Amino acid sequence: MGEWNGFEMIEETLSGRMVIVVVPKKPNGKWVLKTEYFDAFPNAEIELVKMGYHLAHIKNTTRWHNWSDTDARAELAEYMHKKYGVEKKCVIVGMSCGGMQGIYFASKYPELVSCMYLDAPVVNLLSCPAGVGNATDALFAEFKEHKKMDLPELIAFRDHPLDHIPKLVKSKIPVILVCGDSDKTVPYEENGKLLNDAYIANNCEIVTIIKKDCDHHPHGLEDNSPIIDFIVSHS
């Protein structure tokens, strides 16, 4: 047992992975799955917990995604439903690599996702972490260590988040997308815009908010009302 921003926080284990669950004071039967960076820029999640949403996170093997992490989230959805009485469908909150994790999860388990809030998501691995394009942060060494993949292999790779956008389009999962127009880590033009354009081209629901003169951080908005309103209306 613990405390998170004034709410009860439970730390437990599911199939050998650490799980964090934040319990609202008046549950509404809905829940938010934060896919990575559990305690980063949590203002929107705090407001949702105040409104009755449970908040949960399950530890990843790497922030760069393994399919075992995706499957662990499906197991978490069943666990949350049975133990906490929430719907199996969750709201995805995915920031940066967490956005990538959210795309992979929603593409494989669309029946478990009501909507997604993606903030500066990694969509194109050649952009981030490889830096082929306008990204300037040197993250590829970490990626290579975790994924055992060099640049020629990544060029031939056909399992980028962007390769799974057609599945999101087919499932018509609503998305609110927040990005900075000056992001040097995960440039919008090479990442989030690919998702935005695919949704628009296929008449899928997406709300895209571009923050002027904003780099990769901070995530979220000064006033998170548009994010909260979107999530409440789609969950």
| Beta-sheet pairing, 90-95 with 31-34 | parallel
165 contacts 103 by C-beta, under 8 angstroms: yes
Q: Which residues contact 228 (CB under 8 A, 6 or more apart)?
A: 44, 47, 48, 51
Residue-range domains of the chain with CATH: 2-234 (3.40.50.1820)
For the cut 90, the answer to whether the pLDDT of residue 136 exceeds it is no
Output phi, psi for 184, to 5 deg: -95, -10
Average pLDDT over residues 70-74: 98
For the cut 90, the answer to whether the pLDDT of residue 138 exceeds it is no
Residue 55: closest CA among 99, 104, 4: 4
The reported pTM is: 0.96
- How far is the CA of 144 from the CAs of 21, 62, 104, 228, in angstroms? 31, 12, 19, 36
pLDDT tens profile 168-220: 999 999 999 999 999 999 999 999 999 999 999 999 999 999 999 999 999 99
Q: The tokens 């127009």 sit on which residue?
A: 181
Average pLDDT along the chain: 97
Locate the DSSP E strands across 52-125: 54-58, 90-95, 113-119
Average pLDDT over residues 54-78: 98
pLDDT at 100: 98
165 contacts 198 by C-beta, under 8 angstroms: yes
Angle between the N-to-C axes of helices 67-84 and 97-108, in degrees from 0 to 180, rounded to the nearest 10? 70
pLDDT at 95: 98
- How many whole angstroms separate alpha carbon 227 and alpha carbon 168? 19
107 contacts 159 by C-beta, under 8 angstroms: no
- Reading the block at residue 185, the tokens are 């880590």
pLDDT tens profile 30-48: 999 999 999 999 999 999 9
pLDDT at 1: 72
- Residues 90-126 as b/e (b if ≥16 CB within 10 A, e otherwise) read bbbbbbbbbbbbbbbbbbbbeebbbbbbbbbbbbbbb
